Amino acid sequence: MAVMAETKTTKDEDVIARLAGKGEQAINRLADLPGGTKALQMFNDLRSRVDELSKKVRGIDELEQRVAKLEKELAALKRAQKPVAQKAPTRKAGP
């Protein structure tokens, strides 16, 4: 059984290596086409922007957790605070 597992792993690695090689060939062919270099540059820029956006989104999740925690603390403080009785406004005697 161990030999079969090794053979399958080797075959999987070979398939992945072949796919990676084909991908590199496709990118090289695309770069050779008219406007291909510009298209590749735009794809790379897009990838960078998506990476930046995903980092920002992860930051938003952390901020939402912090806000939720602060809201709970504020609610606890409001409950702990005793309500202050307001005095009725006094009216001045008119002429």
> Around Cβ 27, how many Cβ atoms within 10 Å?
13
Please report the pLDDT score of residue 45 as a whole number: 92
- In 3-state terms the chain splits into helix, strand, coil percentages (rounded to 5) of 80, 0, 20
User: What span, in angstroms and rounded, lies between the C-alpha atoms of 71 and 65?
Assistant: 10
Please report the pLDDT score of residue 7 as a whole number: 61
Q: What is the pLDDT of residues 11-69, one digit of tens each?
A: 777 878 887 888 888 877 777 778 878 888 888 899 999 999 988 888 888 899 999 99
Entry pTM: 0.42
Q: Cα dihedral sign for 60, 62, 68, 74?
A: negative
Contacts of 27 (CB under 8 A, 6+ apart): 40
